[in-house]
Structure formats: structure tokens, C-alpha cells
Amino acid sequence: ITVPKIVILGAGYGGIMTAIKLQKELGYNEANVTLVNKHDYHYMTTHLHMPAAGTGNADQARVSITRLIDEFKIDFVKSTVVQIKANERKIILEDGSLSFDYLVVALGGEAETFGIPGLQQHSLRIRSINSVRFIREHIRYQFARYKLEPERSDYLTFVVGGAGFTGIEFAGELADRIPKLCKQFDVDPKLVKLVLIEAGPTALPGFAPELADYAMKVLAHKGVTFKIGTAIRECRADGVVLADGETVKSATVIWTGGIRGNRLVEQAGFETVRGRVKVDAFLRAQEKEHVYVVGDCSLVTGPQDKPYPPTAQLAIQQGAACAFNLVAAIRGEAPREFKFSGKGVVASLGKGEAIGIVLGKTYKGGKAAVMKKLIDLRYLYAIGGIPLVLRKMRL
Ligand code: FAD
């Protein structure tokens, strides 16, 4: 007998949750499931600001995929997807190809640079384990360089572009890290500048103004300088030029100003808005009912037809719903409409400090930081149970 072939592209939040739910629900001979991912580990993007700043370890932010899946039920293929041929039901990998009956696209997002000249070439982005290991080493290297070329104070200026969630979280961590780097490299802390630049009228859009103000106060106290309502007009190898004409000289620009869907999805001919596929109520691409799209590659609208911002929380819930609908499709049962249930958001501001809204309640400071830890632990438990929680707590 032939069984349907399901291929899942990407093992981030959306893809791994689809795989885990499918392996729980499907019997051994109900489907052939293949999970494809660039790396042999799943990484938690929501932790990456810590290893990027050097306040956390990159291994804390990743888990080996084979520890999470049942290899009797899911074939894992470590490879890079280069093309999606949705109508031909074929995936081209860097080293081969796969055919499918059902496809789940969960390839995540990439940085949106809004066509700002030089940003693609000269900025660093917090996107993967490899990128954050590079950022961490790059920052350390600037301190070492400065000691050999003390006239180059720009080595000690760190620019973060975008004061949204990621920019704020990263700046909070880096502000915690700088005093330690100063000690290690015998640098006067007064010489180090950390500048957070935001084009919009406020930091942390989407958070209540009271929480955004609190976040800015905490970061300012740690030494962060804010330039709000100031767009970056150009990024160069030696810094950024701002819309008001000012130039900030720096050898380090970390861009956290925007996210778009994976370009492969656009190239595959799906109808997209900034690389995100507008899916139907069952998470399927329009006119391609055998293709499901979840996470940062998808666009789901909520009340008043407003798109939900791409978050891990959304990707996780979509992964679970997608698995449910795949099982229903295979068994000839009715699919279920996807309904996002937002539990809230918590943004960390460095050690022991955070802000958040959880289940409609506002949290600030230490309490919010504890919330953030609990959310992280809950996720580890959901994908790997108690053993994974314990292993990560030991790292
Ligand atoms: P991802 O988790 O990005 O996974 C995509 C996977 O696809 C990766 O494993 C990648 O390696 C793989 N892949 C990509 N291209 C290819 C290819 N060509 N071939 C094979 N494999 C490929 N959201 C929250 O809800 N809360 C937070 O606190 C939060 N904090 C964040 C902090 C940072 C620093 C960042 C960058 C994001 C944060 N987010 C947060 C957003 C959240 O991380 C994303 O919305 C989420 O990761 C989307 O999940 P996904 O499954 O779509 O993609």
C-alpha cells in the first residue's frame, strides 16, 4: 500500500511543533513524514539576543533535532532547500530532491532592510546560531582592536537599528555585557557608546506606552542612548548616516528593524505580502490545498482583518493546528479553523528586568523577568518534556 508523503520544510518553532504533533497522532503506517532543516539542531530564536551579546551560551538556545523526533515515524534530512515546486509537488534541495503529497512550509523569516543602502552588506543580524556566534566574537574583537588603535573610538560605538522587541532585548543584554568587556580589555567604560536608533515615533510599538517608557528608562540607566523618530538613511562600513544628516561612526551595526518572509516562498510563486503567504482559515495556501504555511512565512489575519505580528507563539500554535489538519486530511475528516489565542508578550531588558502583558495583566521588573523564564521553560517542556527542561537548566 502507498501512504501519503508529508514533507515539512524548516525545523523552527512552526516546523518542529508540526512534526512533534504529527508523530504523536499518526500511526506507524499512516504517512511518510520527512522533516528538512539546514542544521541538525532546532534553535530558539527567542533566546538568541543573549548569546549574541555574550551574556548567554549558544548551546542553551539549541537542541539536537534527533532528540525531539521519533525516527521510526519521521525521517530527518539535514539539507538546505533551494526551490519549492508546489504544483509539481517537488522540493529541490542543495543535494537532491523530494516529492510530496502534502507540504508544510515553515522556513521562517529573514531581515527586511527596506532597501536602505548598505544595510544588507554592512549590518549584522540576529537570526541564527551561526550569526549570533559571529556577533559575539565581533563585539569582543572591537575591544581588542581599540587597545591597539586608541584613536579609533568608533570601535567602541555599537549601533542597534530598530527599537522593536529584538532591538530592545539585545540592547539590554549588551548593556549588561559591556562593563565586563571593559574590565577584561582594560577599557574606560565612559568611552563605550551603545546607540539604539528607531525610525518610528516610539520604541516597542505594540506595547502600552507605560511599559515602553519603563523599558527605555531601564535601558537609559544602563547607558543606552536612544534616537527615536530618526531613520537610518544609509549604512556604511564605518557607521550609519541618519535622516537628520548626523553620522554615527561605528564598526558595529546590528540591524533588528524588520522581518519579512523567506524569499524562497516568494520565488515559488505564492501570492505574498513581504514574503508572507496569506493562508486560508485552515493554514493552506490559496488554491494550493496540499500546501500548508506556518510561522514567519505565513500571514494570518485576526480581528478587523489586521495581520498578527509574526511571533514564536503564533508559529507554535499554527504548527499544532497544521498537524491536526494534516491528520484530518489523510483520514478524510473535516479540518478545523485556526484561531490564534494570544497569551501575551514579555520582553527582557537584561538581567532580572523585563516588561510584559500576560493574560491581560501588566508586569514590570523582576516579576516580568520570572514570567519570561517560565515561558521559556514551558516551551522546552512542550517539545522535549522534563528531561529537556533539566538538561537546559544545567547549561
Ligand atoms: P524559525 O523559528 O525562524 O525557523 C525556521 C527554520 O527553517 C530554521 O530552523 C532555519 O534554519 C530553517 N531554514 C531556513 N531556511 C532554510 C532552507 N533554505 N533550507 C532548510 N532549512 C531552512 N517571538 C515571540 O513570540 N516571543 C519572543 O520573545 C521573541 N523573541 C525574539 C527574539 C529575537 C532575537 C528574534 C530574532 C525573534 C523573536 N521572536 C519572538 C520572533 C520568533 O522568533 C519568530 O516569529 C519565530 O522564530 C518564527 O518561527 P518559524 O517556525 O516561522 O521560523
pLDDT tens-digit profile of 201-221?
999 988 999 999 999 999 999
How many helices, marked H, and strands, marked E, lie in the chain? 10, 26
pLDDT (0 to 100) of residue 394 = 75
Can you list the domains of the chain with their CATH numbers? Answer: 5-111+260-342 (3.50.50.100), 119-257 (3.50.50.60)
pLDDT (0 to 100) of residue 151 = 96
Q: Which residue owns the Cα nearest ligand 1 atom 46? A: 312
pLDDT (0 to 100) of residue 2 = 85
Question: Does the CB atom of residue 18 touch ligand 1 within 6 A?
Answer: no
Of 337, 167, 342, whose CA–CA distance to 255 is shortest? 167
Query: 390 burial class (0-12, 13-18, 19+ CB within 10 angstroms)?
Result: exposed
Is the CB of residue 275 less than 8 Å from the CB of residue 83? no
C-alpha torsion sign, points 184, 188, 190, 196: negative
Q: Is 198 a catalytic residue?
A: no
C-alpha cell at 271: 501570492
pLDDT (0 to 100) of residue 35 = 98
pLDDT (0 to 100) of residue 135 = 98
Question: Does the CB atom of residue 295 touch ligand 1 within 6 A?
Answer: yes
Query: 232 burial class (0-12, 13-18, 19+ CB within 10 angstroms)?
Result: buried
Question: Does the CB atom of residue 15 touch ligand 1 within 6 A?
Answer: yes
pLDDT (0 to 100) of residue 24 = 96
HSE of 340, CA atoms in CB hemisphere, 13 A = 23
pLDDT (0 to 100) of residue 66 = 96
Per-residue pLDDT tens for 324-368?
999 999 999 999 999 999 999 999 999 999 999 998 899 999 999
CA 94 to centroid of ligand 1, rounded, Å: 21
Residue numbers of the chain with a pLDDT score lower than 50: none
pLDDT (0 to 100) of residue 372 = 93
Q: Which residue owns the Cα nearest ligand 1 atom 10? A: 10
pLDDT (0 to 100) of residue 29 = 87
Active-site annotation holder among 137, 151, 169, 198: 169
| Probe target for ligand 1 pocket from 91, 123, 311, 317, with the most ligand atoms within 8 Å of CB | 311
Please give the number of the atom of ligand 1 that sits closest to the Cα of 256: 36
pLDDT (0 to 100) of residue 295 = 98
Is the CB of residue 218 less than 8 Å from the CB of residue 246? no
CA 186 to centroid of ligand 1, rounded, Å: 37
The span from the CA of 60 to the CA of 49, in Å, is: 12
Q: How many residues can be counted in the chain?
A: 395
Is the CB of residue 5 less than 8 Å from the CB of residue 34? yes
